[in-house]
Amino acid sequence: MGFETAYHAQAALGECPLWCGQTQRLWWVDIEAPAIHCFDPETGQNQTFALDENVGCIGLRAQGGFIAGLRSGLWLLDAKGRKEKLIANPQEDTRISRFNDGRVDPWGRFWAGTIYEPRDRPAAGLYRVNAALECQPMAGDIKVSNGVAFSPDRRWLYHSDTPAHVIYRYPLDPQTGEIGARTVFHQFPFGNGRPDGAAVDAEGFYWSALYEGARVVRLSPEGEIVAEYPVPARCPTMCAFGGADLRTVYVTSACHGRPPEELADWPESGNLFAMRVDVPGQPEPRFAG
């Protein structure tokens, strides 16, 4: 079992696949060729909404449109990706920092982390926006925020720091969604792929795309790797569960900045991949703000 190309996207830096159960379409972004995309697996068609700056992540809003993490901050966008309102920009310097991975939580709040591009110190952060559009810092001491996902019982928040090859886990209050102190969920060895974007299935297993690892791994709630699935690109970036039964795993990938010899060996880099699985995922919540 492995992933196969679902759409020949040739994205520079594909990220943040997000399944919309209402329309049965997959939204995703390209960070480096800035755009929000909408893929229809029934027809194979892909619609593109260009943006004027890097877009790291999006979440669907309950009242329509998106909440998004852009280079310039956290924004509300309309259904075609046009800017409506700047919510907050907690970054010190957007010339060397931008928003990266993010996701809506079960309480309808949006979590989004940043990437500190020099990567010489842990200057990135993880932020949360509530329904009142209040932005609050939630975690720091990281270089590249990634892998935000939530357990189906609402008891755990997962979050990775990609350059450190580590996935963290934070306890959640299942009623309020407030977090406790982080612990290491899984530490990957260096040199064989590092944890990028992720999703959690209905059984509480965490699926992580390993950038420069050409695979997606499935980890148990105890943090053990129980399965590995090859991806036809060296740099898969993030997974999402989709399809009418939420049993199709989609994975975005990147080709931006990769060596020519790597792209020759991995010609499908930048494509959108899919694989059918036995255990379904979880429906993606919508932002309540």
Q: How far apart are CA 165 and CA 266, in angstroms?
A: 23
- Sequence-ordered alpha helix ranges (H) in the chain: 260-265
Q: Provide the β-strand partners of residue 99.
A: 114
SS3 sequence of 77-144: ECCCCCEEEEEECCCCCCCCEEEEEEEECCCCCEEEEEEECCCCCCCEEEEEECCCCCEEEEEEEECE
Question: Is 68 within 8 Å of 87 (Cβ atoms)?
Answer: no
β-strand 110-116 against 124-129: which pairing, if any?
Answer: antiparallel
Q: How far apart are CA 143 and CA 123, in angstroms?
A: 6
Q: Write the CB contacts of 177 (distance below 8 Å, at least 6 apart in sequence).
A: 105, 106, 107, 109, 154
The residue count of the chain comes to: 289
CA distances from 198 to 33, 92, 95 (A): 22, 27, 26
Helix (H, G, I), strand (E, B) or coil at 92: coil
- In the set 30, 105, 161, 196, the catalytic residue is 196
Q: Edge to edge, what strands does the sheet with 236-242 contain?
A: 4-7, 272-276, 248-253, 236-242
Residue 265 annotated as catalytic: no
Q: Which residue has the tokens 């928040």?
A: 157
Nearest to 60 by CA among 288, 286, 284, 241: 286
Q: Which amino acids are annotated catalytic?
A: 196
